[in-house]
Amino acid sequence: MAAFGKDVSSLLQTMTDQYGYDFSGYAPASLSRRIQRHMLESGVNDVQSLQQKISGDEQAFADLLRSLSVPVTEMFRDPLFFKYLRDIMIPWLATFPFVRIWHAGCATGEEAWSMAVLLDQAKLLDRCQIYATDYNEEALNIARRGIYKSSLMKVWQRNYEESDGPSVLSDYCLQRYDSLRMDRHLQKNITFANHNLVTDQSFGEMHLILCRNVLIYFSRELQDRVLTLFRDSLVPGGALCLGPRETLRFASVYDCFEPLETEWKVYRLKKDLSE
């Protein structure tokens, strides 16, 4: 934790020792900003006081954990990426008798629901299993319920149209008053589960892994650990999708992959890792 100040390092150590959440590998500048914002919002004057507060109060820790999470997502975010999935990746997935897809760091779940829509439209959903994971249980509960503010639909519909989606996205939602609920037909093939990329083990035998705009919050060492976990979770020839600002270039597993789509950072695990 040398990149963090002494007080922040001590806070992170308490979080690890008492609650099992290890944030020491997160990018120091980003994590420190989120801690400072949380202190301002919760009326805590200094990091030492925050450490004392979470030591004796599980709810205080849960509040801090919520602040340190970055649940920023939306349906069909980056529409041209979803057009790429629709045009290229979905037909490739259709060549398998059964498909496993992992959305790692899924936040409140919109990307996983978007994938379910794509698969349903390709008549592929019934032979797919989507695993959507995050360490933030509050965000996962929102994802599981699939209930969102109806005011989001305008942006979602625009994204959907730009991804070349047929008909209207509202066909997959039930809207009532100020809320919308995703179609339960989609949910039967999605498993939302708690998984911590920092400490937990790999998911095996995945054909496609999506982890977009998560690694940017990690240190280089933690990025390498997570990318190794993804390599170990893919079938030979499986694909990995990162965010547009993320790359495999400096990872120890770089030579295990070959680029498929450079703009959207899509990589394929080599079938023969001795290549």
- Per-residue pLDDT tens over the stretch 221-243: 888 999 999 999 999 999 999 98
Per-residue confidence (pLDDT) for residue 71, from 0 to 100: 58
Q: SS3 sequence, the chain?
A: CCCCCHHHHHHHHHHHHHHCCCCCCECHHHHHHHHHHHHHHHCCCCHHHHHHHHHCCHHHHHHHHHHHCCCCCCCCCCHHHHHHHHHHHHHHHCCCCCEEEEEECCCCCHHHHHHHHHHHHCCCHHHEEEEEEECCHHHHHHHHHCEEEHHHHHHHHHHHHHCCCCCCHHHHEEEECCEEEECHHHHCCEEEEECCCCCCCCCCCEEEEEECCCHHHECHHHHHHHHHHHHHHEEEEEEEEECCCCCCCCCCCHHHEEEEECCCCEEEECCCCCC
Per-residue confidence (pLDDT) for residue 2, from 0 to 100: 38
- Per-residue pLDDT tens over the stretch 194-209: 998 888 888 889 999 9
CA dist., res. 90 & res. 233, Å (int): 19
Share of the chain above pLDDT 90, in %: 55
The fold of 79-269 is Rossmann fold (3.40.50)
Question: In what order do the strands lie in the sheet containing 147-149?
Answer: 147-149, 179-182, 173-176
Share of the chain above pLDDT 70, in %: 96
Environment class of 215 (CB within 10 Å of its CB; exposed 0-12, middle 13-18, buried 19+): buried
Residues of the chain with CATH 3.40.50.150: 79-269
- Choice among 86-90, 99-103, 190-194, 248-252 with the minimum mean pLDDT: 248-252
65's tokens: 């954990």
Whether the pLDDT of residue 1 is over 50: the answer is no
CA dist., res. 230 & res. 205, Å (int): 10
* Mean of per-residue pLDDT scores for the chain: 89
- Per-residue pLDDT tens over the stretch 45-98: 888 888 988 887 888 887 887 777 655 689 999 999 999 999 999 999 999 999
State residue 245 phi and psi, 5-degree precision.
-100, 10
How far out from the chain centre does Cα 252 lie? Answer: 22
State residue 188 phi and psi, 5-degree precision.
-65, -20
- Mean pLDDT calculated for residue range 214-221: 82
CA dist., res. 204 & res. 222, Å (int): 20
